[in-house]
Amino acid sequence: MPHTLSVDAPEQGVRLITLQRPEALNALNTQLLDELAAELALAEQDAETRAVVLTGSRKAFAAGADIKEMAERDLVGILEDPRVAHWQRIAAFSKPLIAAVNGFCLGGGCELAMHADILIAGEDARFGQPEINLGIMPGAGGTQRLLRAVGKSLAMQMVLSGQAIDARHAQRAGLVSEVTLPELTIERALAIARVIAQKAPLAVRLAKEALLKAEDTDLASGLRFERHAFTVLAGTADRAEGIRAFQEKRRPEFTGR
């Protein structure tokens, strides 16, 4: 039973994970990261779960790593730090992950949101990497994923100045795909998850993998992976079902095979 988050199944095929450390604006301490990684592992193993929505509170998606915990630990042995392993487990999640972001989304919180495949933000969301104010720098992908998402100039500005940007700016820069009224952020993320949950699971999984390849490989390798994945899907029962359903003018019934 997790203590720092809640898990719901608001509709078929979709899990909603809500970060719940209101006393610390959902700061990511070791326990929260551990519980989040464990919940994602459960979602990964559960064939019924087709997409996950990750959210926080109206005031904060997450205000970063837990600074009070950081004050008690020295980071000299960063490779042995359990939090590093938790971040790696979160990054390995292979099903669609949608972040519904309201309020502060800072430091490790922004890095966590960037682990999502799709980011939906409320108008009041603020994205930033303020680690520089603490004399440190992003440590969970913030320099790498932010630059890929918003480009060099804005990433440099955010990381070196520590200043946050608002949701509309984040959307213009490409960090966020949609901006909603704050009270509708989760609803919109769930609606997108619901649509994805109805697609053929193998196609969704391989399409996600192929899209992520575009972030970290050269074009020729990415195209090679795409061709390979496309060929794999050609042999699936779901491809046959998708084409048959189109011809018979009905909704496909995908089975994940």
The only residue of 107, 122, 201, 252 in contact with ligand DAK, by rule CB under 6 A: 107
d(CA 118, CA 64) in angstroms, rounded, equals 19
Q: Is the Cα dihedral 69, 70, 71, 77 positive or negative?
A: positive
Q: Running DSSP on this structure, what letter comes out for residue 126?
A: E
Q: To the nearest whole angstrom, how small is the minimum distance from the Cβ of residue 83 to ligand DAK?
A: 5
Active site residue 65: yes
Surface-to-core class of residue 42, CB atoms within 10 Å of its CB (0-12 exposed, 13-18 middle, 19+ buried): exposed
Residue showing tokens 């649509």: 195
Q: Which of 7, 38, 41, 84 binds ligand DAK (CB under 6 A)?
A: 84
Q: Give me 113's structure tokens.
A: 């949101």
Which of these, 214, 192, 138, 126, lies nearest to 165 by C-alpha position? 126
**Catalytic site includes residue 108:** yes
CA dihedral 205, 29, 134, 79 (to 10 degrees): -70
Residues present in the chain in total? 257
Residue 131 annotated to the active site: yes
Euclidean distance between CA atoms 30 and 68, whole angstroms? 11
Give min distance, CB of 107 to ligand DAK, in A.
2
String marking each residue 40-79 x if it binds ligand DAK according to CB under 6 A = -----------------------xxxxxx---------x-
Q: What are the C-alpha distances in Å from 193 to residues 40, 149, 203?
A: 15, 21, 15
Considering beta carbons, is residue 182 or 222 the nearer one to ligand DAK? 182
* Ranges within 108-137 binding ligand DAK (CB under 6 A): 108, 130-131, 134
Q: Which of 83, 145, 188, 199 binds ligand DAK (CB under 6 A)?
A: 83
Q: How far apart are CA 200 and CA 255, in angstroms?
A: 7
Stretch that binds ligand DAK, among 4-12, 22-30, 44-52, 241-249 (CB under 6 A): 22-30
* Residue of 27, 37, 51, 65 with catalytic role: 65
Which of the residues 13, 103, 107, 108 is marked catalytic?
108
Q: Which is nearer to ligand DAK, 83 or 115 (CB)?
A: 83
State the residue for tokens 């952020």.
185
Rounded least distance, CB 90 to ligand DAK, Å: 10
Rounded Cα gap, residues 158 and 138, in angstroms: 11
The distance of closest approach from Cβ of residue 156 to ligand DAK in the complex, given in angstroms and rounded to an integer, is 18
Q: Which C-beta is closer to ligand DAK: that of 136 or that of 195? A: 136
CA–CA gap between residue 177 and residue 196 (Å, rounded): 15
Instruction: Give the residue, chosen from 96, 139, 201, 252, that forms a contact with ligand DAK under the rule CB under 6 A.
Output: 139
Residues marked active site are found at: 65, 108, 111, 131
Q: Which residues bind ligand DAK (CB under 6 A)?
A: 24-25, 27, 63-68, 78, 81, 83-84, 87, 104, 106-108, 130-131, 134, 139-140
